[in-house]
Amino acid sequence: MFEVFFGYPLSLYRKGELVLLSPYPRWWLAAAVVASALALAAAVWRRRARLAPGLTGRRPVFVWLLQACLLALVLLLLWQPALRVSTLKPQQNVVALLIDNSSSMMIEEEGETRLAQAVRLLEGGLLEGLSKNFQVRLYRLSDRLERIPDLGSLGAARPATRIGDALREMAREAASLPLGAVVLLSDGADNSGGIDLSTLAEIRSRRIPVHSIGFGRERFARDIEISDVKVSERALAGSRLSAAVTLRHTGYASRKTRLAVRDGDRLLAAKELVLGPPERRQTELVLFHAGPAGIRTLEFSLEPLDGEENPRNNALRRLVQVEASRPRVFYFEGEPRWEYKFIRRALAEDPVIELVSMLRTTQNKLYRQGLSSPEELADGFPGRVEELFAYQALILGSVEAGYFTPVQQELIRQFVDRRGGGILFLGGRAALADGAWATSPLAELLPVTLPSQKSSFHRDQAAVELAPAGRDSLITRLVEDPEENAKRWSELPRLADYQEVGEPKPGATVLALLRTPTGRSLPLLVTQNYGRGRSAVFATGGSWRWQMRQELADQTHEIFWQQLVRWLVTGTAGLVSGSTPRPVLTDESIVRLEAFVRDKTYLPAADARVEARVLGPDGLADTVELAPDPQQPGSYRADWRAERPGSYVAEIVAVRGAEEAGRDTVAFRREDGVAENFRAEQNRELLEKLAEQTGGAYYRPAQARRLLDDIVYSEAGITVQETKELWNLPAVFLLLVLLKTAEWFLRRRWGVV
Amino acid sequence: MAARGRTLWICSLALVCVGVLAAQRLRFPDLEDHPAPFPPDGHEKTEFAFARLMYPSIGRGYWGWRGAWTTDYPKADRQFVQGVRRLTRIHTRSVEEVVDLDTDKIYDWPFVYAVEVGHWDLSDQQAARLRDFLLRGGFLMTDDFHGTYEWDVFLASMQRVFPERPIVEIPSEDEIFHVVYDLDERFQVPGIQYFYSGRPYEQDGIEPRWRAIYDDQGRIMVAICHNMDLGDAWEWADLPRYPERWASLAYRIGINYILYAMTH
């Protein structure tokens, strides 16, 4: 219809440049239009009273406007308007047909795979039509771009789609080929992270239009997909872990399904869940035990539902490095009390945590337990960095701030801030506000603003309950089910005592509350991050009643303390800490290995030699040296190519001088062909944007024949300039008639014909 | 009518008695073996109180004549805790806590002292509660029983508590003898009877024995002081003719046992 009135296809107007063919200057046209409009205005104004008394009010303005437009249009036509456009010279240009044969193109829709639909479209005349005017080159596009002689050579599906890489390759070919246009037949399910700006810029600089034909449904009618899984990359052996699993679905609102976590064939956890509204992201928390030390490849999967169109996106894998290390925790207690004994007992049952404690039994005696040697802590509370920083977490019991010297107080602050250790303040007769901690320099470490008055400690029993933030916390999760857990907390025996700790600081998280005998609700367990470490307040010295007042088989007290202390030590790095930004490489091979090296006082060490010894699948072994980052002292990095899919372990070793500074292990995994199953609907947005950015157009398969007309308009390859005159368009004639008819109609209506 | 009036009168009297007992809370004046003044801070809320186990005695019934559990009560307790308060940092109440094994109150007092256990006679229910208390983390110190006969009586009830666990001698290197004081040199601590009998021992209990029942993690749950009378030593520590070295050792053992109970 557009072409009937405007003579040429819309794409021509989009690509063409409007020009005036008349040799007269353009300003003459503007002047003529203005002059004639003014002359018309004067004539209408002067003659209206005499010849047309009915033209009153605004009516002469309308008449003048219509006449002026008509005159302006006639003047424009005298200047010969036209479209100038570049078109591909027939038989002299190459058109590249890129056919996506990745595994997402094998998804079957209405009895036919997406690839089969593309082939059918090409064989149905499109290929022949293009071949009439151009030299057509066929390519198959997946994780690489390969030229093929014919459609029969498409071959088996490949595991990934890298549209960006393919376009870069085409741009390179265009340097030696008269490439007129690129036609991309794809579902747009790119899994290389999109098309980067430099590739787009290269394509645009060569003016190659990329036309895209989209295959596949833009939305599955019935599908459920795990979009993401967030889980800690490191854990202590036997720890409880939580994973946040994000899923989305279409067509299964209010349906039940089962989320499972597996380590190989072993089921670690399972959870029944009800699916929410469609198209919305839904995040589910699932808890499981990390098990013994080792590298775990955990699979998070959803049970397929009946009629699901793409069940291959129901599972995702993540790597978790379960460490064999035994973090050392130092507990300093200012007076003998039951809490001390029962904390020791609870942590003694933890095979991972090593608790070293020191207790002021009398005015002049310190009693030490859990020592690795008789010399450990022989001089009392540590006064040197090497002594205190040997621990990963510190627990301070009922002890006044003034007990510690200013040097020790600064050491404690540095322990959390620089060392990245965890610190836990317990309530007690000489603790927190009653121990003058509010006015000590260490008050900033606390996650609460302590009350200024003393006598905040009360030897009265207090009930406990879970705070809203505690529902999702691993520290306070006593039983798996969140509802059951909240109930469990409210049923716990009362604490033997409690302490008022004031208001939580901004950024702090209140995980549990206590209820005083007078009914006041106060923070019980508050946590926050401080510097590189963590701090927490547990506002009681009486949780031992959870052990003595519950059945012998009950493990609440042990679980709580083990989880709290494991949280304290989590993330407390050693002298060398290795990492990788992406522990799971999806359809790519380059892994970045990073290490941060510190000296014995935990200051960055920029003078280390750092290398990674990588072990991979099938006995693959390699050594790579990490180069120091001049911008960040202590930081080292290297890129390494993981040649084969599978799990890898890199042991990072740092050496300073002749001495080993420390070592750490990093695990990563290369997975091929998995990402292709996710977001497998047609990514129309990507295909449209790609076409729009390069001067091409997006087509549905049903509209693809229009490509035969549109593809000739291109500025790439070998082109000719064509000029398309516009004066003889039916639309121009219609406009002339319309303007005159409108004037006549108005005059008739007003009786001034 | 007369019978109904008498019943009413008895009930009222019982109510008054219960009320008086409840008001005194920590005091059992009729059962005091050796009365001691009630300190003004006796009701202070503290971390620790010296908990004395109330138990039924063999042959004399639970509420029979005073009960063996009251031996030295309360003077020994109050005099001992003065030492605990002075010599340690334990926030200690000046008055003892009597713990009835027929109630769950015992679970609030993880250290319990039982005297004259050569006369105790625990019911199955009481034995089960005591076992549960100890396995949850409680600690029992027994004292002032002597010779073979009383050992056998002690054992009869103790085996109802832990039929499967052996009673063993505590080696000198055990932490219980070192947690505060190093008690490698230990000797028999006689009771006040020494001044009447002239013998440091009672019955055939010539050798002092420091024995224990351990839990699966090697921690002492029951510390058994056999053939000695630490309670008397605490009780008579203020008696000029009672030797200081006996009282001193009794205090040191008591303090070590409490500190051990609070650290293991």
* 3-state secondary structure string across B216-243: CCCCEEEEEEECCCHHHHHHCCCCCCCC
The third-level CATH classification (topology) of the domain covering A223-321 is Immunoglobulin-like (2.60.40)
Is the backbone peptide bond immediately before A351 cis, with ω within 30 degrees of 0?
A: no
Contact B180 A361 (CB under 8 A): yes
Which of A331, A337, A457, A460 best probes binding to B when mutated, by most B CB atoms within 10 angstroms?
A337
**pLDDT given for residue A309 in this prediction:** 84
pLDDT tens per residue across span A352-399:
999 999 999 999 899 999 999 999 999 999 999 999 999 999 999 999
Distance CA A355, CA A371 (A): 8
Q: In Å, how far is B162's CA from the nearest CA of chain A?
A: 15
Q: What is the DSSP letter of A60?
A: H
**Does B180 contact A552 at a Cβ distance shorter than 8 Å?**
no
CATH 3.40.50.410 placement within chain A: 90-215+681-717
SS3 A332: strand
Give the chain A residue whose CA is nearest to the CA of B179: A367
Considering the domain boundaries, does residue B12 fall inside one?
no
* pLDDT tens per residue across span B45-62: 999 999 999 999 987 544
Kindly list the residues from chain B whose CB atom is less than 8 angstroms away from the CB atom of residue A359: 263
Q: Which residue of B has its CA nearest to A358?
A: B263
**Distance between CA A640 and CA A625 in Å, rounded?**
10
Q: Which helix (H) or strand (E) holds A286?
A: strand A282-289
- Do A226 and A247 form a contact (C-beta atoms < 8 A)? yes
Q: Mean pLDDT, to the nearest integer, of A127-136?
A: 92
Q: Which secondary structure element, helix H or strand E, spans residue A323, and what is its range?
A: strand A315-323
Q: B11 in a domain, yes or no?
A: no
Q: Do A335 and B91 touch (CB under 8 A)?
A: yes
**Do B263 and A359 lie within an 8 Å CB cutoff?**
yes
Domain A90-215+681-717 in this protein, CATH class: alpha beta
Q: In this predicted model, which residue has the larger pLDDT, A752 or A449?
A: A449
The mean pLDDT value for A113-127 works out to: 92
Q: What is the pLDDT of residue A204?
A: 86
Tokens read off for A729 = 């368009």
Are A196 and A164 within 8 A, CB to CB?
Answer: yes
Token code pair at residue A416: 């959390």
**Beta carbons within 8 Å of B124's beta carbon, 6+ residues apart:** B160
Contact residues on chain A for B221, CB-CB shorter than 8 A: none
| Contact assignment for A548 to B137 by CB distance below 8 Å | yes
Check whether A750 has a pLDDT greater than 60.
Answer: yes
**Which of A265, A274, A221, A266 shows the shortest CA–CA distance to A247?**
A274
Is cis: bond before A209, omega within 30 of 0? no
CB under 8 Å to A176, separation ≥6 — which residues? Answer: none
Residues 6+ apart with CB under 8 A from A98: A139, A141, A145, A166, A170, A182, A183, A184, A185, A186
Residue A367 to residue B132, Cβ atoms within 8 A: no
Cβ–Cβ under 8 Å, residues A190 and A104: no
Is residue B128 included in any domain, yes or no?
yes
**pLDDT digits over A614-660, tens only?**
999 988 899 999 999 999 999 999 999 998 998 899 999 999 999 99
**pTM (2 d.p.):** 0.76
Asked if the Cβ–Cβ distance from B179 to A367 is below 8 Å, we say yes
Residues of A within an 8 Å Cβ radius of B: 334-338, 340-342, 344-345, 348, 359-363, 365, 367, 369, 429, 459-460, 496, 541, 544-545, 547-550, 552
What is the Cα–Cα distance from A91 to A177, expressed in whole angstroms? 13
> What CATH number is given to the structural domain containing B238?
3.40.50.12140
| Residue B191: closest CA among B150, B143, B120 | B143
Range list for CATH 3.40.50.880 in chain A? 328-569
User: Start-end ranges of CATH 2.60.40.150 in chain A?
Assistant: 223-321
* Angstroms from B137 CA to nearest CA on chain A: 7
Question: How many domains does one find in chain B?
Answer: 1
E strand map for B90-177: 97-100, 111-115, 139-143, 168-169
pLDDT at site A753: 64
Token representation of residue A76: 């424009």
Give the pLDDT of residue A577: 93
CB contact under 8 A, B263 and A429: no
Q: Checking phi first, is residue A474 left (phi over 0); if not, alpha (psi -120 to 50) or beta?
A: alpha
pLDDT of res. B15: 53
A472/A283 Cα distance (integer angstroms): 12
Quote the ipTM score: 0.90
Across B170-192, average pLDDT: 97
Residues of B with CB under 8 A from a CB of A: 45-48, 87-91, 104, 107-108, 110, 132-133, 135-138, 179-180, 217, 258-259, 261-264
Which stretch of DSSP H or E encloses residue B212?
strand B209-214
CB contact under 8 A, A341 and B46: no
pLDDT digits (tens, 9 = 90+) for A404-445: 999 999 999 999 999 999 999 999 999 999 999 999 999 999
CB contacts, 8 Å: B262 with chain A: 336-338, 340-341
What residues pair up with A322 in beta bridges, in sequence order? A235, A294
Find where tokens 């409880």 sit. Answer: A240
- Give the closest of B90, B135, B179 to A335, CB-based: B90
Classify residue B208: in a domain, yes or no: yes
- Percent pLDDT > 90 in chain A is 60
How big is the A-B interface in CB pairs under 8 Å? 81
The two three-digit tokens of residue B182, written as one number: 């190093």
Res B234 pLDDT > 50: yes
When the pLDDT of each residue in chain A is averaged and rounded to a whole number, the result is: 91
Query: Is B25 inside a domain boundary?
Result: no
| Segments forming the whole domain that contains residue B38 | 30-261
Q: Which of A308-322, A409-423, A441-455 has the lowest mean pLDDT?
A: A308-322
Q: What is the pLDDT of residue B25?
A: 45
In angstroms, rounded to a whole number, what is the distance separating the alpha carbons of residues A235 and A293? 9
Length of chain B (residues): 264
Which of A331, A338, A455 to mutate against chain B (most B CBs within 10 Å)? A338
Taking an 8 Å cut-off on Cβ atoms, the answer to whether A547 and B137 are in contact is: yes
Pairing of strands A240-250, A294-302: unpaired
> Are residues A360 and B89, on separate chains, in Cβ contact within 8 Å?
yes
The candidate with the shortest Cα–Cα distance to A505, out of A531, A534, A527, A538, is A527
**Residue B10 domain flag:** no
Interchain CB distance below 8 Å, B259 and A460:
no
Token output for A493: 């025996």
Report whether A626 contacts A612 (CB < 8 A). Answer: yes
pLDDT of residue B145: 96
Where residue A191 falls among pLDDT bands split at 50, 70, 90? low
Token representation of residue A171:
């741009």
Give the CA dihedral B13, B19, B20, B21, nearest 10 degrees. Answer: 110
Residues in A closer than 8 angstroms to B261, CB to CB, are 341
Domain formed by A328-569, architecture = 3-Layer(aba) Sandwich (3.40)
For A400-427, b/e burial (b = at least 16 CB within 10 A) is: bbebbeeebbebbbbbbebbbbbbbbbb
Q: Which of A155-164, A198-207, A389-398, B186-195 bottoms out in mean pLDDT, i.e. has the lowest?
A: A155-164
B42, part of any domain: yes
CATH architecture type of domain A576-675? Sandwich (2.60)
Does the pLDDT at position B21 exceed 50? no
In sequence order, the β-bridge partners of residue A355 are A329
Tell me the C-alpha distance between B263 and A358, whole Å: 10
CA atoms of A168 and A694, how far apart (whole Å): 13
Of B136, B217, B263, nearest to A367 by CB-CB distance is: B263
Which residues, 6+ apart, have CB-to-CB distance to A137 below 8 Å? A94, A95, A96, A97, A147
Hey, are the CB atoms on A459 and B48 less than 8 Å from each other? no
